[in-house]
Amino acid sequence: MKNKRIVIKLSGEVMEQGNQEANLDFGKIMKLADSLKKLAKQGYQIGVVLGGGNIFRARMVKNMEIDREVADHIGMAATMINAMALQAVLTKMKQPAKVLSPFVIPATMSAYSAKRANSYLNKKHIVIFAAGTGKPYFTTDTALVLRAYEIGAEYIYKATNVRGVYDKNPVKYKNAKFYKKLSYSEALEKKLKVMDAAAFAMARENKMDLTVFKYSPANLIKAVTKNNIGTKVANESR
């Protein structure tokens, strides 16, 4: 990997305790932080996009007639809580980290700009991108690709709860086919669910190398350093 600047997307579920809702498991956060610190020590400049599903999921208000835009903003706030928790643990481990967000909380997170993110990355901080894109109707998949483009990262990583990309849901279908390598064109032709459509189109247009992998603290390190797990998606299957 020539360019050691990367962005990793992690769902809020990697920070939750069991299957409970609205919780933070600081034991899991410590293991995540340790893996990120190890990568930083190897010279990687790391951006992290966090979800908020451990605190808030849209299905919680599905039957309450809450406006989609309001629900999306609640979800953004959940990612901000996760970002602050991860930053606190990284700081405790003496790994410099900074939370950047479209929404500012004085003394806790600063306003996002690509210039500010680049400055912290060059100072060897892990930069945590909170609140997605700051706009409703856009997913954290889009935030992953957008932030990577803005800071000049060529490699992006999406952590999931399955091995990588399949032709159908492997949890429901035991005969689901796993793909080790894919081109963006193949993924489109086969109608494979890699990420949301807007994020996928942006990643393809900007020739980003994407790895989709099953999250664990160890797998996070392997996905970045060994490049031998999960599904690799690039402009040409290789």
Q: 189 exposed, middle or buried (CB, 10 Å; 0-12, 13-18, 19+)?
A: exposed
Q: Can you tell me the mean pLDDT for 191-198?
A: 90
Q: What percent of the chain has pLDDT over 90?
A: 80
pLDDT of residue 68: 83
- Residue spans of the domains in the chain: they are 5-234
pLDDT of residue 59: 62
pLDDT at 166 over 60: yes
Q: Can you tell me the mean pLDDT for 79-103?
A: 97
> Which uninterrupted H or E stretch holds 46?
strand 45-50
pLDDT of residue 208: 94
pLDDT of residue 232: 96
Q: Can you tell me the mean pLDDT for 198-207?
A: 93
Q: What percent of the chain has pLDDT over 70?
A: 92
pLDDT of residue 16: 87
Q: What are phi and psi of 128, to 5 degrees?
A: -105, 120
**154 token code pair:** 């060529």
- Lowest mean pLDDT of 13-22, 66-75, 163-172, name the range: 13-22
Q: What pLDDT band is residue 168 in, cutting at 50, 70 and 90?
A: very high
Q: Can you tell me the mean pLDDT for 216-221?
A: 97
pLDDT of residue 88: 97
- β-sheet with 126-129: strand ranges across: 110-111, 97-101, 126-129, 45-50, 5-10, 155-160, 209-214, 231-234, 181-183
Q: What angle do CA 78, 117, 11 make, to 5 degrees?
A: 30
CATH 3.40.50.300 fits 5-234, yes or no: no
pLDDT of residue 187: 92
pLDDT of residue 19: 62
pLDDT at 62 over 70: no
pLDDT at 106 over 50: yes
pLDDT of residue 238: 47
pLDDT of residue 236: 67
* Contact (Cβ atoms closer than 8 angstroms) between residue 192 and residue 165: yes
Q: What pLDDT band is residue 172 in, cutting at 50, 70 and 90?
A: very high
| pLDDT tens-place string over residues 127-143 | 999 999 999 999 999 99
Chain CA centroid to CA 149, Å: 14
Average pLDDT of the residues of the chain: 92
pTM equals 0.93
pLDDT at 147 over 60: yes
